[in-house]
Amino acid sequence: MKGRFFAIGVGPGDPELLTLKAVRILKNADVIACPSKESGPGIAFNIAAQAVPEILDKRIIALEFPMTKKDLTQAHENAARQLINVLDSDKDIAFLTLGDPSIYSTFSYILGLIKRNGYEVEMISGVTSFTAVAAKLLISLSSKDESVMITSKEYTDVADTLVIMKAGSVLKELKAKISKTKKEMYLVENCGMEDEKIYRGIDSIPDEVGYFSIVIVTDRKEFNE
Amino acid sequence: MKGRFFAIGVGPGDPELLTLKAVRILKNADVIACPSKESGPGIAFNIAAQAVPEILDKRIIALEFPMTKKDLTQAHENAARQLINVLDSDKDIAFLTLGDPSIYSTFSYILGLIKRNGYEVEMISGVTSFTAVAAKLLISLSSKDESVMITSKEYTDVADTLVIMKAGSVLKELKAKISKTKKEMYLVENCGMEDEKIYRGIDSIPDEVGYFSIVIVTDRKEFNE
């Protein structure tokens, strides 16, 4: 009997947005794995630990992921090998990801490596950050036959509603492009965290914000009127 | 002190995918409102009741929403009036929606009416059905700089990954269009429910499936190899 590997979405920031399933698996897991931040467990771990303090007493594997592509592939392979060693000792691993594991998550390459080596893997869905942002703004992203496009940094006008993840690093350019449209622009920084900031309307949005910023571009604003 | 209105996403089907926040609010709510099915509480209520059986003992308002547009507007106004009467008697209402309340939810018009009348409203995010489908399939919807398009019924090739909600009614046409591309097609019917069915690859997908079917079109298949 080998250990099992669970990739768990812990939601966008508010510990209460963990699912019952995530809580159950975190309580039962032998080992917690998570991306690291300055050699310690990162933001996903901090969110999970607020909802399930028991994980503070478990073995924690904090994985470092460098930013350059070549180093990253090597880091993924090292991480997978490290995790497989744990699975071979009959331990279940809960790997924590911010938001939902299928949306811009760092774990996908690792999960592929582990699955191809014959281990049992399961993805546990979490609340994705952009629907949490819509909830904060009290807006709908889509109704009836409307479409939603989710992109990383890029602006496009092919959908009724556009969600731009990681908008912080290109915000000035985004504002210039969106100001030429008739759409409304919203931004939420650090959604669900203590330093959350909500901006409604392009004129209220500064040119510089933090990394965890999501922009929504839409012509729907009925809830705000 | 007026009652508060909570629009709660109960997730796609598995009662364990309710969030801790949804559970807390459901336990404390005075009244549960939900879309009805044949004059009884519908599928969102059944999911929530499995996670929080206490709601079976609360007052339940099952709202009927007809399919024609003219009747629907009238039904929304009637529903909002009924709910506002409850809020005026200092009762908190939990309104249940399948998946996440910002994605193709029926409640948005009602929430707008209630908010414009000056009542406190809050949206509680849930796991959206399409990320739960990705979890079942063990696939990633987006990584790095990839884009995701979510549509209702329509096929389009503007994004790296396409999610088609309510695919059941147009499945034969979708299959014909997708068969001309080099992308892989996946379908999950009744995700997270007892009669869930998972189809990988266009050749395995029948021409007719149920209403709660979601199609994913993507060229990413590394987890399945």
Per-residue pLDDT at A52: 98
Q: Is the pLDDT of residue B88 over 50?
A: yes
Q: Has residue B181 got a pLDDT over 70?
A: yes
Q: Which of B106, B124, B142 is the last residue of a domain?
A: B124
Residue B194, Cβ neighbours under 10 Å: how many?
A: 6
Q: Mean pLDDT over residues A21-28, rounded?
A: 98
pLDDT at A132: 97
Are A102 and B142 an interchain contact pair (Cβ–Cβ within 8 Å)? Answer: yes
By C-alpha distance, which of A46, A70, A72, A73 is closest to A60?
A46
The answer on A143 and A88 residing in a single domain is: no
B145 vs A152: CB contact, 8 Å cut-off?
A: yes
Among A8-22, A137-151, A170-184, B209-223, the least confident range = B209-223
Contact list, A104 vs chain B (CB under 8 Å) = 142-144
Which pLDDT band holds residue A193 (cuts at 50, 70, 90)? confident
| Residue B149 contacts A where some CB pair is shorter than 8 Å | yes
Judge if A120 and A133 occupy the same domain. no
Say if residues B99 and B126 touch (Cβ distance below 8 Å): yes
Residue B176's pLDDT is what? Answer: 95
pLDDT score at A43: 92
CA distance A179 to chain B (A): 22
pTM: 0.94
What's the Cα-to-Cα distance from B75 to each of A115, B70, B86, rounded to whole Å?
49, 9, 17
Cα separation, B91 vs B96, whole angstroms: 16
Query: Does A152 contact B134 at a Cβ distance shorter than 8 Å?
Result: no
Identify which of A11, A147, A150 has the shortest CB distance to residue B151. Answer: A147
Is B225 a residue whose pLDDT tops 60? no
Name the residue among A129, A137, A213, A139 with its Cα closest to residue A172: A213
Residue B173: domain span: 129-224
> Is it the case that residue B224 has pLDDT exceeding 60?
no
Q: Are residues A34 and A101 in the same domain?
A: yes
- B28 in A contact zone (CB under 8 Å): no
Which among A124, A154, A181 is the end of a domain? A124
Check if the beta carbon of residue B56 is closer than 8 Å to that of residue B34.
no
How big is chain B, counted in residues? 225
**Residue A13 forms contact with B (CB below 8 Å):** no
Q: B39 CB contacts (<8 Å, ≥6 apart)?
A: B62, B64
pLDDT of residue A192: 87
Same domain, A120 and A9: yes
Total domains in the fold of chain B? 2
CATH code of A33's domain: 3.40.1010.10
In degrees rounded to 5, what are phi and psi of residue B98? -65, 145
Residue A67 contacts B, CB cutoff 8 Å: no
What SS3 state is found at A48? helix
Q: Are residues B20 and B70 in the same domain?
A: yes
Indicate if the pLDDT at residue A176 is higher than 90: yes
CATH code assigned at A146: 3.30.950.10
CA distance B219 to B153: 20
Q: Are residues B103 and B143 in the same domain?
A: no
CB atoms A223 and B111 under 8 Å: yes
Is A215 in the same domain as A152?
yes
Please tell me which residue of chain B has the smallest CA distance to A52.
B20
Confidence of residue B220 (pLDDT cuts 50, 70, 90): low
The amino acid that residue B36 corresponds to is S
Asked if B164 and B97 sit in the same domain, the reply is: no
Contact A135 B151 (CB under 8 A): no
Residue A212 has pLDDT above 90, yes or no: no
Residue of B20, B104, B133, B153 best to disrupt the A interface, most CBs of A under 10 A: B20
pLDDT computed for residue A70 by the predictor: 79
Q: What are the tens digits of pLDDT across the range B124-134?
A: 999 999 999 99
In this structure, are A115 and A29 located in the same domain?
yes
Tell me if B149 and A128 make a contact (CB, 8 A cut-off).
no
Token pair 């709908």: residue: A140
A145 compared with B220, residue with greater pLDDT: A145
Residue of B nearest to A151 (CA): B147
Tokens of B177: 């269009």
Contact A109, A76 (CB under 8 A): yes
pLDDT of residue A86: 97
Same domain, residue pair B35 and B104? yes
- Residues whose CB falls within 8 Å of the CB of residue A51, separated by 6 or more in sequence, listed in order: A10, A15, A16, A18, A22, A23, A26, B20
Q: Is B36 on the interface with A (CB under 8 A)?
A: no
- Looking at the complex, does the CB of residue B223 fall below 8 Å from at least one CB of chain A? yes
User: Are A99 and A148 contained in the same domain?
Assistant: no
Interstrand relation of A148-152 and B148-152 (parallel, antiparallel or unpaired): antiparallel
* Domain's final residue, options A57, A92, A124: A124
pLDDT of residue A224: 47
Q: Name the pLDDT band for B65 (thresholds 50, 70, 90).
A: confident
Each residue of B91-114: pLDDT tens digit? 999 999 999 999 988 777 888 889
Q: How far is A155 from chain B (nearest CA, A)?
A: 11
pLDDT score, position B41: 84
Please report which confidence band the pLDDT of residue A62 belongs to, taking 50, 70 and 90 as the band edges. Answer: very high
Contact (CB<8Å) B104/A143: yes
Q: Do residues B111 and B59 share a domain?
A: yes
Residue of A nearest to B149 (CA): A149
Mutate one of B4, B5, B17, B19 to test the A interface: name it (highest A CB count within 10 A).
Answer: B19
